[in-house]
Amino acid sequence: MKFKKEELHSIVNSVKRHIEMEALGGAEDLLFPADEKNRSAISLESLEKEVISCLRCDLHRTRTKAVFGAGNPGAKLMFVGEAPGRDEDLRGAPFVGRAGQLLTKIIESIGLRRKDVYIANVLKCRPPNNRNPFPAEILACENYLLKQIELIKPRVICALGKFAAQSLLATNEPISRLRGRFHDYRGTKLVPTYHPAYLLRNPGDKRLVWEDMKKIRKYLKER
């Protein structure tokens, strides 16, 4: 696998930080800094505090605010996007720009309100200029999302867009082939669909998202 110079720089920095943490706190802190032995006692609130002060990858240098996630902590439906954009970075909340307004309409299209669901991203800090996340950043951040899902226990995860779907399902399959069907994500149903930002540029594909949402609605109603 070939890496660009900036990706290599990011990986080297992550490894350096891991080594420093090991020297300070023991090997388990490499996996999860909050205290791996007491993970079951971690709440969403304490996890959010960790994210807000997280220094685990270089994105902490350029973020305005980390974006932990928002919504109902007991939600049956959880949406997972890629990473905060400019509006989200400024406000510290997920999906608050134009794409977020469209996501609200998508949620309402199946009879739910935004406060009924939980919304998060794979990355908690904005990549500069909305560039694609680097592998080292995903690696550094992924435990936060895993823990969120573990705490919320949604019945369905809706992965918004190629990046979230491919990251969660560990695949390179295009979103056009992933969407429209249920996948298994660690025992939870996962339905990929198009990202609202993509729909703003390609409104003709809104009907495909509507089809995906109807499947989710049916599944949730039956259980």
Q: Order across the sheet with 156-160: list the strands.
A: 70-71, 118-121, 77-81, 156-160, 188-193, 183-185
Q: What's the closest the beta carbon of residue 10 comes to ligand SF4, in angstroms?
A: 10
196-213 per-residue burial string, b: 16 or more CB within 10 A, e: under 16: bbbbeeeeeebebbeebb
The angle at the Cα of 174, spanning 170 to 176, to the nearest 5 degrees, equals 130
Q: Is the Cβ of residue 54 or residue 117 nearer to ligand SF4 in the bound state?
A: 54
Q: What's the closest the beta carbon of residue 220 comes to ligand SF4, in angstroms?
A: 29
Q: Is the Cβ of residue 71 or residue 84 nearer to ligand SF4 in the bound state?
A: 84
Amino acid at 167: S
Q: Angle at which helices 135-152 and 44-52 pack, to 10 degrees?
A: 160
Q: Is the Cβ of residue 39 or residue 60 nearer to ligand SF4 in the bound state?
A: 60
Q: Is the Cβ of residue 120 or residue 125 nearer to ligand SF4 in the bound state?
A: 125
Distance CA 169, CA 115 (A): 26
Which residues of this chain interact with ligand SF4, rule CB under 6 A? 51, 54, 56-57, 59-60, 66, 123-125, 137, 140-141
Q: Is the Cβ of residue 45 or residue 184 nearer to ligand SF4 in the bound state?
A: 45
Q: What's the closest the beta carbon of residue 85 comes to ligand SF4, in angstroms?
A: 14
Q: What's the closest the beta carbon of residue 66 comes to ligand SF4, in angstroms?
A: 5
Q: Is the Cβ of residue 101 or residue 130 nearer to ligand SF4 in the bound state?
A: 130
Q: What's the closest the beta carbon of residue 18 comes to ligand SF4, in angstroms?
A: 12
Distance CA 143, CA 211 (A): 31
Q: What's the closest the beta carbon of residue 174 comes to ligand SF4, in angstroms?
A: 25
- Check if the beta carbon of residue 190 is closer than 8 Å to that of residue 111: no
Q: Which residue has the tokens 């025992």?
A: 187
